Structure 1
Amino acid sequence: MDQKGKKVKLAVNGGISFGAKLTAKQLAVIAEHMIEGDELEVTTFQQLYIDVFERDAESVREKFMEAGLSCYPVGNFVKSLRTCNFCKGEEKEGMPVAIELNKRIAGNPVPFTLKPAYTGCPVGCGEPLVNDIGVMKIRDGYDLYIGGKAKGKDANTGTLLVAQLSPDQLYETVETIIRIYAEQGKKREPFFKFIHRFGLENLKSQLPVIEKQIAY
């Protein structure tokens, strides 16, 4: 393989599934596009970073997708949904909702890297309370948290913004929050800082009307 040329970074994972898993076929396809000395970076949001030659990037993406891998941009974008292990079954843990939410938001440009997380029960293995946007399935509804921060002396759990949303309400609300952040956030302004500056009440006032759902 020609080892000269500019490289770009791709973010890949096995898709939104039962935890962060890869098949033997997916691992083999990734290995085909690595040369001696290359390394895979494992991120905290369940993605792998791989460096590929820029000239080959599009064809590599296609091969990865054929193997069932999902590819995402690297940088100031909404990351793919961090998930738990969904230990009680696909429908009960809301897997179809997690997949659809990821499809709608992952890869959208934002002022600074935004990490969403989803968990299918109150145990919270997907760590929704310490990520920028967190979704927790409670019985038949979805509770939405925002502004969590996992690192630093000012680490903090997210604030419950809306409780017991239907899937459609969840999609619309999260998409609206991300749109507001993309339009109103300052360059390289982390989401939790944006929330403090923009104001929680101000954000609530701009969300779709969800009768008796806003958690004051």
Structure 2
Amino acid sequence: MGETIKIAVTPVIQGGGSLFTPEQFATIGKVVGTDAKIEMTSFKQLYVEIPLERREEIVASLQQSGLEVYPAGFVTKSLIACNFCKGAEEAGLETARIVNKAIAGIETPTPIKVGYAGCALGTSEPLLKDIGIVKMRNTFDVYIGGEAKGLKAVPAKLLVSGVSEEELPQVITKIISFYKENAKGKEKFNRFVDRITLEKISANCL
């Protein structure tokens, strides 16, 4: 196969969850070939290993089928959203898409997972993500520092409440930028939050 590269493939954020169509799966199989390695990740992305020389061609075909393609590895993952069970408008589907467009694929010292819940039920488990967003009526609460792995799993801590729809993408990107600028090497995000403190992050990002 020669030199290869991994790409992250995901369906668009939509009501009902992470829904692939049969045609999209068929497209993936057709364009990557029978020798490709495809991994289902815990953050709702397919990691697909493809020939580097065919990257542009394959990405274009996947995007044409309605899929989204992002870098794999040490980047901010595409938004891990809920199923929008309260409806697209009430749960903030369009806002989630705007946030995803702002954050997905940003290079980071370690991979960053951002969760989004359209209501306080939190079915997407946003408080177990590095950054969690919870819609509360017409504004949003932002949590940071969650860790789901290991025996010392911890929920994220509330950083700010009452963030408007217009302010939300900028708040999240500022947090990610502050982490990039101040992390020590490959410091995990939750450890970064503990070291820097909520107060300093709030002072620099809000």
Instruction: Please say whether Structure 1 and Structure 2 have the same fold, judged by a TM-score greater than 0.5.
Output: yes
* 2:22 aligned with 1:24: yes
Q: Determine which of 164, 168, 171 is the counterpart of 1:170.
A: 168
Q: Quick check: 2:31–2:61 contact (8 Å CA) kept in 1? A: no
Q: Measure, in 1, the Cα distance between the counterparts of 2:62 and 2:35.
A: 21
Structure 1 portions without partners, runs of 5+: 209-216
Offset, 1:39: 3.8
**Structure 2 length-normalised TM:** 0.96
Residue of structure 2 equivalent to 1:52:
50
Q: Quick check: 2:178–2:205 contact (8 Å CA) kept in 1? A: no
Q: Quick check: 1:33–1:52 contact (8 Å CA) kept in 2? A: no
Give 1:118-157 correspondences, 5 Å limit. Answer: 118-157=116-155
Q: Measure, in 1, the Cα distance between the counterparts of 2:29 and 2:70.
A: 18
**Structure 1 length-normalised TM:** 0.91
Q: Measure, in 1, the Cα distance between the counterparts of 2:31 and 2:61.
A: 10
Q: Quick check: 2:82–2:117 contact (8 Å CA) kept in 1? A: yes
Residue of structure 2 equivalent to 1:34:
32
Q: Quick check: 2:36–2:50 contact (8 Å CA) kept in 1? A: no
Between Structure 1 and Structure 2, how many residues are aligned?
205
Moved more, 84-93 or 29-38: 29-38
Structure 2 portions without partners, runs of 5+: none
Residue of structure 2 equivalent to 1:7:
4
Residue of structure 2 equivalent to 1:84:
82
Q: Quick check: 2:32–2:58 contact (8 Å CA) kept in 1? A: no
Moved over 4 A (4+): none
Tell me which amino acid in the other structure corresponds to 1:146: I
Which whole-Å deviations, capped at 9, do the CAs of 1:119-152 have from their partners, x for residues lacking one?
Answer: 1111111110000000011111111110001011
Identity %: 38
Change (3 A) 1:50 1:62: same
| Cα-Cα RMSD | 1.2
Where 2:63 maps in the other structure, the secondary structure is helix
Offset, 1:196: 1.1
